[in-house]
Structure formats: C-alpha cells, structure tokens
Structure 1
C-alpha cells in the first residue's frame, strides 16, 4: 500500500555515486601533488639559483708556440692538401691568423707554424675545439692580402636566456653574406653543449667596466631579441 502524495520511490545509482567520489578524491590528490611539485621546483631555484656572471674574460687563440710546436691542449686529427692561403683571417684577430682554402672548403682561421715550416698551417673550426686540421701548402704561405682587423669576437660563451642555468657557445659566421634580424646583423651561430643549434647572437658586443659584457640573443624559432651576459670571448 503506497502513501498518498509520496510519489514514485527514487533509485540510488550507487555506481555513479561511487565513481563521482573517486574522481573527486583523485582530483584533490593530483592538486596536492601538483602544488608539491611546483613548490619543489620553486625550492630548487631558490636554493640553487642560476650562476651569476660578474665579468667577461677575453682569450686570444694561438696554436703554435714560438718554436713551432703545437700547444699541448691540441691534437692533429686531419691532414688536407693541396691548399692555399690568400688573406688574413676574417674571424680572428690573433697575430698571423690566415684565411685558407682546400677542396672547395674555407678554413678560417689558420696559423702558420713559422718561417722554418712555411708549407703547413694549422686550422680550427671554432675557438673551443681542440681538433686541428693541418693544411699542406705546396707554394708555402707566400704573400697574402692584409685585412683590417675585425672588432667582432671569433666566439662567445653566453648565458642562455631561455635556460639561465645553461651556457651556450656562439661562433662567428663572418665571411659570408650578412643576414639581419630586426635590423641587427647576425654575427654568431649559437649551439648548446650537445651541438644543437639553439639561436643567434646579433649586433655589436656591449662592453662594460662594472660588469659582464653583453650581446643580443634570439632563439632559433623566435625573432625576439634578449640581452644576455657574456662569460668568455675569443679573438
């Protein structure tokens, strides 16, 4: 016998009720974990801030000592010839550095071993490389065109604005067609420690007496220029 006005009895969907409760509990736990992860990351950066660059160090690269011996930090990995050198280096202002060619490739900079061995020069691909390519010059170094010394460093080690804990290496692209980004000439191509292209350094180096020198940097997939401190410069 039913009670007048009570209406039809309601059925409770226990499966749906339990599922809703489980989802709510998981959401709360996930939120707590996310808050903990964020707090952990914040703590890491607070306790271990990115390295601070207080000054910029300049380096002048040379391969051979006054006796013509290769400096001990370098090793010869390749011999190529015949080759010729026709002008002073366009990327390095190191004394005696030359611009040479062999097998349709440009090698710049290269250093003569000295007047006692005019038939060979040693070349580096970038300032931080320790692998030396020796070029054989059948006609010797001979006469070469004098070039005005450039004021653009051969290489830079800068702090990556996209990851301040990471230092990246930027080597000169001088000698070819100059390209521009936001009206600034692109002078260096920048790679991370794994050799991956991550961006460009552009424009003139901004010198400072009270802190590190700086340069404008743009990420590989960005046209935004950000100022970055320089840790090391090579000429």
Structure 2
C-alpha cells in the first residue's frame, strides 16, 4: 500500500502519518490488500473486488462511495490484454486497486512532470486520466499515417496484402472508439456527482476529461470512415 497526501504536490506518507493529515489522500494497492486498504481509507464498499472481472470503464454510485473500473488498452498491443483497475472514492479519499503497478507508475509520472499534481481529489483524477490518455493523439496520428500510405499504394495499384494490413487497423480503431465512449460517459457520471462528494467549482475537471475523450472518439470515427473509403477504393 502506497499513500499520497493531496497537498498540491503528491506527498508520499506512511499509514502512521495518516492520522496527522487533514487533507485528502490517494491509496494505491493490489487486490490482495484491497479490503485492508479500504478500511485504512475509511471507505465502505458493498461488493466484490475482482480485477479479473474488469472489462469496461464505468462508475456506479453506492450509498457510501463511488465504485469504478478502468479497462485501458495497452498502446503497444491494442487488441491484446489491458490494464485493469478498480477505484473507490468517498467524500475525502480515493483508493486505487491495481495488480500491475501501472497506476503507481502513472502517479510517479505526474510527480515528475506536473507542477500542480493534485490539490484535491478532483484535480488528481483529472491528472490521472490525462496521464494514461497522454499518447492517444500520437497513436491516432500513427494510424492515420498508415492509412495514408495504404491509400497511396492503392492509387499506385499496389494491393498485395492490403486486407491483411487494413483489417487490424480497423479492429484497433473499433476498440478505441468503444473505449473513448466509455471514458466520456465515466467523466459525465463523475460530473453529475450523484452522491455530492465533490466541490462544485472542482467538477470542471471531469468535464475536461469528457471533452478530451469526445475529441479522441471523434477523431477515431473519422479514421474509421477514412479506412472504409480506402478499402472501397
């Protein structure tokens, strides 16, 4: 279990120091220590913790917390295995369950690259989502370049291995389209704040998450249409 106090900067603290803190904190742990960590964070969750069952990005409201899951495609293999995360939020703290230390690496990247690392849960969630979506624009640009090269080959009459090349691209784009749609809905659910856990002025961060996912989904849809045009040609 790793604990970060949210003080503008992400300050790592020990469980013994937790009682001295008045600010919110983020707890990162694995599934084997999930229940213990939830107790330490004083978060009550009525459900089963199982990363194996995580297949979508979604969030649901419970009486005492928000319970969410993230199923994040690995950029080096979109069609392969995913980063699977469960997270829990109440009116003070946040717990992230991750068996691969992917979340911890994201937090460490936030510490290295961002001046304001999260003075609130809302700002931290924005930074966290932004970090794992950081390279998506670059990924889509790579897919666009591949499609442009395929189009040039088709115009030059070079159609060998065409279907073998374009089919995986379309499959990856379809996966990404669904993924961005889920992230967009998740951001909207956070912004609606059914439980009243977030400060009104801070909920703008969730709208920014939704907007970013919406833009990425829009570009993905455009690339799918482009891929269809190239295939038809």
TM-score bucket (shorter structure):
under 0.3
Q: Could you state the TM-score of these two structures normalised by the residue count of structure 1? A: 0.23
* Bigger helix share: 2
Q: Who wins on radius of gyration, i.e. which is larger?
A: 1
Q: Could you state the TM-score of these two structures normalised by the residue count of structure 2? A: 0.23
* Bigger strand share: 1
